[in-house]
Amino acid sequence: MKVTGQCHCGNIRYEAEVDAATVRVCHCSDCQRLTGSAFRTNVATLPGTFRLLSGTPKVYLKTAESGNKRAHGFCPDCGTPLYATSPDPNPASYGLRVGGLDQRAELPPPARQIWCRSALPWAMDITRIARIETQ
Ligand SMILES: [Zn+2]
Ligand SMILES: [Zn+2]
């Protein structure tokens, strides 16, 4: 599926082909910290399809518990998280942050949730929390 995305301030714009079956939620503590939220939602691009249309992301190199390094791209102006990928020069695939995609509501629901051992206890089921259409 073809997707387009941008950061909040519009400095960074990008496009890619994603595998819609790879939408997933990550409850790891790194994603909590890096998003400032309870969990992150990602989708994987098809190899070689990610293309920047404008702007230059700033890259934060994160070292995982396993020792793997991931390059996290974000907007240097507004801070929007954009993607994570291999730090190699020609990365095969990008994990796009679903919230930045223009088609985020058209993607299917996540197929799985990972790192549930570090999920915030309430985040595994928000169906009972009061629902209000606006703030
Ligand atoms: Zn921005
Ligand atoms: Zn995570």
pLDDT tens-digit profile, the chain (135 residues): 999 999 999 999 999 999 999 999 999 999 999 999 999 999 999 999 999 999 999 999 999 888 989 999 999 999 999 999 999 877 679 999 999 999 999 999 999 999 999 999 999 999 999 999 999
- Amino acid 99: pLDDT: 97
Long-range contacts of 84-87 (CB under 8 A, 24+ apart): 84/42, 85/50, 87/61
- Amino acid 88: pLDDT: 83
128 CA → ligand 2 middle, Å: 24
30 CA → ligand 2 middle, Å: 6
CA distances for 23 relative to 33, 45, 94, 99, angstroms: 20, 10, 12, 12
Q: Which residues have beta carbons under 5 A from ligand 1 (an ion)? A: 7, 9, 11, 75, 77-78
- Amino acid 115: pLDDT: 96
**Residues 45, 31: Cα–Cα separation, whole Å:** 19
114 CA → ligand 2 middle, Å: 8
Residue 54: alpha-carbon gap to chain centroid: 19
35 CA → ligand 2 middle, Å: 10
- Amino acid 56: pLDDT: 97
- Which CATH architecture does the domain made up of 2-119 adopt? Beta Complex (2.170)
56 CA → ligand 2 middle, Å: 23
- Compute φ and ψ for 32, nearest 5 degrees: -60, -50
- Amino acid 117: pLDDT: 97
- Amino acid 65: pLDDT: 81
- Amino acid 14: pLDDT: 98
Three-state secondary structure call for residue 98? helix
Q: Locate the domains of the chain by residue range.
A: 2-119
- Amino acid 66: pLDDT: 87
82 CA → ligand 1 middle, Å: 10
pTM of the model: 0.93
59 CA → ligand 1 middle, Å: 13
4 CA → ligand 1 middle, Å: 15
